[in-house]
Amino acid sequence: MTATLTPARSRTGSRAESGQLTGTVAMVRLALRRDRIKLPIWLIAITALVPRFYYAAVSAVVPTPEALANASQMIRASFMRVLAGPLFGDVTTRSYFLAAYWVEFLLAAAIMNMLLVTRHTRAEEQTGRAELIRAAAVGRQAQLAAALIVSLIGNAVLALLTAAATISIGFPVGSGLLFGASLAAAGLVFAGVTAVTAQVTELTRGAGGLAGIVLVAAWLLRGAGAMQGQEGGPLFWLSPIGWSQQTRVLAGERWWPLGLSAVLAGLLIAGAYSLASRRDLGASLVTPRPGPASAPSWLRSPFALALRLQQGSIVGWGAAFLAIGLVLGAMTGGMEQTDLPIFSADADFGRAWISLMVFTGSLYTGVFAVLAVIRLRTEEVRGRVAPVLAGPTGRSTWYWSSLLVTALAVAALLAVYGAALGAGAALSTGDPGFVGEVTRASLLRVPEALVLLALPAALLGLAPRAMSVAWAVLVYSGFIQILAPNLGLPGWLTNTSVLSHIPWHPLGSFAPVATVVLTVLAAVLATLGLYGLRRRDLVTG
């Protein structure tokens, strides 16, 4: 060392120089700075849903005691318990609010944490930013620790905000805090799950996808457990989402089920650390196999390229649809017979349940379609479209090829989902007629999904910065349609939902006018998108 150099000294002098966690505080600050917009939006959005849902529930059940009784009876029906409930204790507007929407809050908290943890762990490694960070005086475990600390902070704030919101709608203070804590607990468990999956796969999407599979499994277990009994059977107790609900807010409250969540989160985090300390930066437990050295002979047109680029996502969604369809279909046989006004059009409850599930499949297919089109924008922004368009491929060919692949995938996914749902129903009821009937019912919903596909496509051309509006429309349409029957919404309001025009019961009803109108609307929106795309500047690199 020469005299001209003054060696840099640690600012955190007392800390062990080679600590695995050195730099964690700075990493937390960096993460909070990066998330200064994203995290508050998540927290405020989830909190705002409390009064939003509560007043929706109030308007549904306050008018008359009969309305409250009817709504509660519906939520207690076995097939609704899969999605909502359980309804603990006495029926009031507040307990109804919890029964109807608690699961949604728990899912939202889980997803917030999954995105947060992948964003600050695997995504950093995949982009190579982690390499810049780790070349500084930052310990090997500091990034993971920082991600988990930020998640802890986010969950604590979420607990306090949602507690305040529930207290503002009339919950006792203790109940509000317990409700908030139940969301934070589910959030922490899924932060832990994602911390583990981030060690397992090399790509961010893989880490998020694996955590998503765990979330769906937890949700399905909770649903299956809910069918086992009014207040949740043994399977309910196998799901972290179930633990949060077993705190029985407003009806015999108890904090101890959250202890299960804390223990599981602790174990998962310990597991993630142990895995992380065994691997190289950027490496993963599952190493990707080498791919083919040359392109297959079919990969020679813009359409084939679009298919190749979307192939992984289509196959993944198809597998998920197959599994979820089978599981949901298999629940048909166990449905209890309940007298419910909203399903009076259906002869039996099995078919009422299937109708609801076919509709849910359409909603998920909408999610797939919106994601697929938003990915086109990502392709453009990352500069991956420019080399294609610099060749003899025109904008309109690129655009239609990409949309056609997604449209065909939408139809295929609905067919797979319908067939799986029908097969599950046929197996559990012994009625083979379900397979064809449910597949047909599912395919009848293709025009809806096409509109949900064409809307972001229109935005891609006309207002690419506003593509997330497509999410808002999807969520709005889903809510309106799910709420419509028990809110008694006026017809004009219901009609503003994309998902309200193809009837969902009786099973397999065909509405020719709606089918034609939706298909034409999709075509018009998609054409408008091309109109915009041909006139605007492309973003390159």
| Residues found near another protein in the complex (CB under 8 A) | 1-11, 17-19, 22-23, 26-27, 30, 33-34, 37, 127-129, 131-140, 280-283, 287, 541
**Cis-peptide, bond into residue 86, ω within 30° of zero:** yes
CB of 302 to another protein, least distance (A): 27
Between 20 and 338, CB nearer to another protein? 20
Of 488, 512, 517, 508, give the one whose Cα is nearest residue 357: 508
Contact, 273 vs 199, CB < 8 A? no
Between 140 and 440, CB nearer to another protein? 140
CB of 136 to another protein, least distance (A): 4
CB of 126 to another protein, least distance (A): 9
Between 22 and 310, CB nearer to another protein? 22
CB of 533 to another protein, least distance (A): 22
CB of 65 to another protein, least distance (A): 52
CB of 448 to another protein, least distance (A): 34
CB of 368 to another protein, least distance (A): 26
Q: Residue 82 and residue 246: Cα distance in Å, rounded? A: 15
* 299 token code pair: 């990969």
Of 48, 18, 81, give the one whose Cα is nearest residue 335: 81
Between 126 and 355, CB nearer to another protein? 126
CB of 414 to another protein, least distance (A): 35
Residue 523 CB coordination number (10 Å): 13
Q: Residue 143 and residue 499: Cα distance in Å, rounded? A: 42
3-state helix, strand, coil in the chain (%, to 5): 75, 0, 25
Q: Residue 23 and residue 11: Cα distance in Å, rounded? A: 10
Between 280 and 339, CB nearer to another protein? 280
* 22 token code pair: 């050195």
Q: Residue 149 and residue 28: Cα distance in Å, rounded? A: 7
Residue 314 to residues 273, 326, 365, 377: CA-CA distances in angstroms?
33, 18, 11, 18
Tokens 């979820």 label which residue? 324
Between 129 and 535, CB nearer to another protein? 129
Q: Residue 79 and residue 82: Cα distance in Å, rounded? A: 5
Of 387, 537, 383, 400, give the one whose Cα is nearest residue 464: 537
What radius of gyration do the chain's Cα atoms show? 25
CB of 33 to another protein, least distance (A): 7
Between 1 and 513, CB nearer to another protein? 1
Q: Residue 46 and residue 36: Cα distance in Å, rounded? A: 16
Q: Residue 436 and residue 442: Cα distance in Å, rounded? A: 10
Count of positions (residues) in the chain: 541
Between 230 and 277, CB nearer to another protein? 277
Between 125 and 448, CB nearer to another protein? 125
Contact, 86 vs 231, CB < 8 A? yes
Q: Residue 444 and residue 292: Cα distance in Å, rounded? A: 38
Between 13 and 490, CB nearer to another protein? 13
Tokens 């007629």 label which residue? 433
CB of 2 to another protein, least distance (A): 3
Q: Residue 403 and residue 109: Cα distance in Å, rounded? A: 32
Between 32 and 213, CB nearer to another protein? 32
* 82 token code pair: 């899969």
Between 9 and 66, CB nearer to another protein? 9
Residue 295 CB coordination number (10 Å): 11
CB of 360 to another protein, least distance (A): 34
Of 108, 91, 96, 114, give the one whose Cα is nearest residue 49: 108
CB of 9 to another protein, least distance (A): 7
Of 528, 513, 390, give the one whose Cα is nearest residue 462: 528
